[in-house]
């Protein structure tokens, strides 16, 4: 994939960088050569990004052509919204205070060139802002009342950079474009980012599974690159995002999904799936409305607590709306335990899900991708416990055993119900948990970030499991390229 540096006048760009092509803004917009170019990363250094200017259209049409612009139109729009700037300021709170705390005065201006500043002491702050708002050249204005806050942030053009900064800018551009992750992209057809958190206790995928995923990418000429929380600004370098970190709405995983989707990347988990799967109240309402069998369920608030004992009896199960990996799911065996758990849960959420207790030897987990069953597992309860995972006091985990079946060997009603439930969520990758108690079959929940670990979920399909996931990305990327309309 070629890297294009788009400037208003190539004569004013002072640097030749191997592996890049310098092109004028108008040439990029009007020359059919660039429309027909299948893949490119476009660094838009136009002098203005205002709405409907040439610079704006460079980023807009780059995405329409299947290219990857920096800055994207999403970034340009975000920079105009005071609320988004305010959120970024709040997230950078401690870093802002530690970096700027010793300054005198109540105003400060910071110039950011590819995530760097001439004064190294501001580099971490610059890199954080660049990660939130990936644009080549930025100017940040800070103001202090009780503490420092980001007041405004805007992209700047090459002609706004002072003469005494020019040599530094050239050096930072050379450093940025020389990065292996930019030069290496020319060797692959597509780039897949995999968001991970190596420190996470219950990682959705272990290292062996991630290595197998990366190896499977070669079949599709797709390079698989692991990224982490601090790589938010790198999303524009990729064609697709696969989130392999436990998701939540009030979490950076959701921001990654939103930004990736807005920038035209193919995303698993997409933002809608994260919202729908991470809230048990939503799922309880959804499944009941569509006739999906679930355990007897009551949505509890402070004024209907008495319904638990009356309608469900004891023991019963309480679930935080955003619980995951069995955390935030407790059992209440009597009124005292119920009162204790509800007091804790209702501090954080206005609503809590209460369900009848449905003990079983194991839970079914059916992996569903794009509306089709992918794998079937049985997760057995942890020894001496009522869940598949038991959390120990020192944050260790105890798990029950598991086994994996070919989809065609799993009970057909289990698979059919799992697919029906997943279809209500979306067309991504889901893990549908079900219980079978006697002849009664119930959906427990649909997970948007199902575990895929080497030797467990891939035990039957092996590498074909990873090929299936990457084919999902590949097919949508190919479809995206065919759907571009020429103006």
Residues 161 and 151 in one domain: no
* Helix ranges (DSSP H) in 202-351: 207-216, 252-262, 271-277, 280-289, 306-307, 335-348
pLDDT beyond 80 at 261 = yes
pLDDT beyond 90 at 180 = no
pLDDT for 187: 63
- What is the rounded CA–CA span in Å between residue 64 and residue 67? 7
pLDDT for 487: 33
Q: What angle do CA 217, 222, 224 make, to 5 degrees?
A: 70
Q: Total domain count for the chain? A: 4
- How confident is residue 203, by pLDDT bands cut at 50, 70 and 90? very high
- How confident is residue 173, by pLDDT bands cut at 50, 70 and 90? confident
Q: Is residue 307 part of a domain?
A: no
Residues 58 and 88 in one domain: no
DSSP per residue over 291-315, as a string? T---S-EEEE-TT-THHIIIII-SS
Grouping H, G, I as helix, E, B as strand and the rest as coil, residue 459 is: coil
pLDDT beyond 90 at 412 = yes
pLDDT for 122: 95
Residues 7 and 43 in one domain: yes
Average pLDDT value for residue range 201-227: 95
Locate 30 and state its tokens: 């009007």
Average pLDDT, the chain: 90
CATH classification at residue 439: 3.30.470.20
DSSP class of residue 485 equals P
pTM of the model: 0.78
Average pLDDT value for residue range 289-306: 93
Read off φ and ψ for residue 166, nearest 5 degrees: -60, -45
Average pLDDT value for residue range 286-299: 94
Burial class (CB in 10 A: 0-12, 13-18, 19+), 432: buried
Q: Is residue 301 part of a domain?
A: no
- How confident is residue 126, by pLDDT bands cut at 50, 70 and 90? very high
Q: Is residue 290 part of a domain?
A: no
Burial class (CB in 10 A: 0-12, 13-18, 19+), 121: exposed
pLDDT beyond 90 at 16 = no
- How confident is residue 6, by pLDDT bands cut at 50, 70 and 90? very high
Residues 172 and 43 in one domain: yes
**422/77: higher pLDDT:** 422
pLDDT for 184: 46
**Residues 58-94 pLDDT 10s:** 999 998 888 889 999 889 988 988 888 998 898 888 8
**Residues 23-37 pLDDT 10s:** 999 999 999 999 888
Sign of CA dihedral 292, 294, 298, 300: negative
pLDDT for 166: 86
pLDDT for 484: 43
304-318, 364-378, 387-401: segment of lowest average pLDDT: 387-401
DSSP per residue over 232-249, as a string? GGGGGG-SEEEE-S---T
- What is the rounded CA–CA span in Å between residue 104 and residue 102? 7
Last residue of a domain, one of 110, 141, 156: 156
- How confident is residue 483, by pLDDT bands cut at 50, 70 and 90? very low
Q: Is residue 143 part of a domain?
A: yes
Last residue of a domain, one of 187, 205, 230: 187
Average pLDDT value for residue range 432-446: 95
Q: Is residue 300 part of a domain?
A: no
**327/319: higher pLDDT:** 319
Residues 17 and 162 in one domain: yes
pLDDT for 485: 38
pLDDT beyond 60 at 197 = yes
**Residues 133-168 pLDDT 10s:** 999 999 999 999 889 999 999 999 878 888 899 889
pLDDT for 139: 96
Residues 233 and 223 in one domain: yes
Q: Is residue 386 part of a domain?
A: yes
Q: Is residue 428 part of a domain?
A: yes
β-partners of residue 139 are 111, 154
β-partners of residue 110 are 140
pLDDT for 463: 97
CATH classification at residue 254: 3.40.50.20
Chain position carrying tokens 């790589």? 231
**75/484: higher pLDDT:** 75
> How far apart, in Å, are the Cα atoms of 393 and each of 330, 331, 396, 399, 405?
15, 17, 7, 15, 33
- What is the rounded CA–CA span in Å between residue 231 and residue 257? 13
For 479, residues 6+ apart whose C-beta sits below 8 A from its C-beta are: none
- What is the rounded CA–CA span in Å between residue 363 and residue 211? 28
- How confident is residue 482, by pLDDT bands cut at 50, 70 and 90? low
Residues 106 and 210 in one domain: no
Residues 129 and 231 in one domain: no
DSSP per residue over 114-147, as a string? TTB-SSGGGHHHHHHHHHHS--SEEEEEEEESSS
Locate 143 and state its tokens: 């103001």
**482/233: higher pLDDT:** 233
pLDDT for 130: 92
pLDDT for 395: 65
- What is the rounded CA–CA span in Å between residue 457 and residue 459? 6
Burial class (CB in 10 A: 0-12, 13-18, 19+), 316: buried
Residue 411: HSE in the Cβ half-sphere, 13 Å Cα cutoff: 14
Residues 364 and 265 in one domain: no
pLDDT for 182: 52
pLDDT beyond 90 at 480 = no
Residues 217-230: b if buried by 16+ CB within 10 A, e if exposed: beebebbbbbbeee
Grouping H, G, I as helix, E, B as strand and the rest as coil, residue 162 is: coil
Locate 341 and state its tokens: 């758990």
Q: Which domain holds residue 197?
A: 188-270+472-482
Average pLDDT value for residue range 407-419: 97
Q: How many helices (H) and strands (E) does the chain have?
A: 17, 22
Residues 39 and 83 in one domain: no
Residues 145 and 165 in one domain: no
**Residues 350-362 pLDDT 10s:** 989 999 999 999 9
Locate 96 and state its tokens: 């802002």
Q: Is residue 453 part of a domain?
A: no
44-58, 73-87, 385-399, 467-481: segment of lowest average pLDDT: 385-399
Residues 264 and 193 in one domain: yes
- Which uninterrupted H or E stretch holds 225? strand 222-227
- What is the rounded CA–CA span in Å between residue 202 and residue 278? 16
pLDDT for 486: 38
């Amino acid at each position: 994939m070629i890297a294009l540096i788009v400037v208003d006048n190539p004569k004013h760009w002072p640097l030749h960088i191997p592996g890049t092509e310098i092109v004028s803004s108008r040439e990029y917009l009007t020359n059919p050569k660039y429309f027909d170019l299948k893949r490119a990363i476009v660094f838009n250094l136009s002098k203005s990004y205002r709405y409907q200017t040439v610079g704006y259209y460079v980023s807009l049409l780059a995405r329409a052509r299947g290219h990857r612009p920096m800055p994207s139109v999403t970034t340009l729009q975000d920079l105009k919204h005071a609320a988004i700037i305010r959120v970024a300021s709040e997230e950078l709170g401690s870093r802002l205070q530690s970096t700027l705390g010793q300054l005198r005065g109540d105003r400060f201006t910071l110039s950011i060139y590819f995530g760097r500043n001439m004064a190294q002491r501001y580099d971490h702050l610059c890199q954080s802002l660049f990660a939130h708002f990936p644009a080549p050249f930025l100017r940040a204005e800070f103001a202090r009342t009780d503490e420092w806050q980001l007041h405004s942030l805007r992209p700047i053009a090459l002609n706004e950079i002072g003469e005494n900064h020019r040599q530094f800018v050239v050096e930072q551009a050379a450093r940025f474009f020389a990065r292996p992750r930019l030069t290496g992209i020319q060797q692959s057809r597509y780039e897949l980012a995999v968001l991970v958190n190596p420190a996470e206790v219950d990682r959705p995928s272990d290292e062996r599974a991630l290595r197998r995923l990366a190896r499977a990418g070669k079949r599709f000429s797709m390079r698989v690159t692991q990224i982490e929380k601090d790589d938010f600004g790198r999303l524009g370098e990729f064609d697709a995002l696969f989130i392999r970190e436990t998701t939540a709405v009030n979490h950076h995983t959701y921001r990654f999904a939103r930004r990736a989707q807005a920038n035209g990347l193919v995303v698993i988990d997409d933002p809608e799936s994260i919202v729908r799967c991470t809230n048990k109240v939503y799922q309880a309402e959804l499944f009941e409305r569509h006739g999906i069998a679930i355990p007897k369920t009551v949505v509890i608030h402070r004024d209907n607590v008495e319904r638990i004992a009356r309608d469900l009896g004891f023991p019963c199960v309480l679930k935080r709306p955003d619980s995951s990996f069995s955390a935030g799911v407790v059992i209440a065996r009597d009124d005292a335990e119920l009162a204790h758990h509800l007091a804790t849960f209702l501090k954080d959420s206005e609503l809590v899900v209460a369900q009848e207790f449905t003990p079983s030897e194991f839970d079914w987990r059916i992996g569903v991708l794009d509306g089709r069953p992918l794998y079937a597992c049985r997760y057995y309860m942890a020894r001496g416990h009522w869940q598949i995972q038991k959390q120990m006091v020192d944050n260790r985990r105890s798990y029950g055993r598991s086994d994996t079946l070919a989809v065609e060997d799993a009970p057909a009603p289990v698979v059919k119900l799992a697919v029906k439930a997943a279809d209500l969520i979306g067309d991504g990758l889901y893990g549908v948990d079900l219980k079978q108690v006697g002849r009664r079959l119930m959906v427990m929940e649909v997970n948007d970030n199902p575990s895929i670990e080497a030797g467990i979920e891939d035990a039957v399909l092996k590498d074909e499991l990873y090929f299936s996931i990457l084919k999902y990305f590949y097919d949508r990327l190919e479809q995206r390229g065919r759907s571009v309309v020429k103006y």
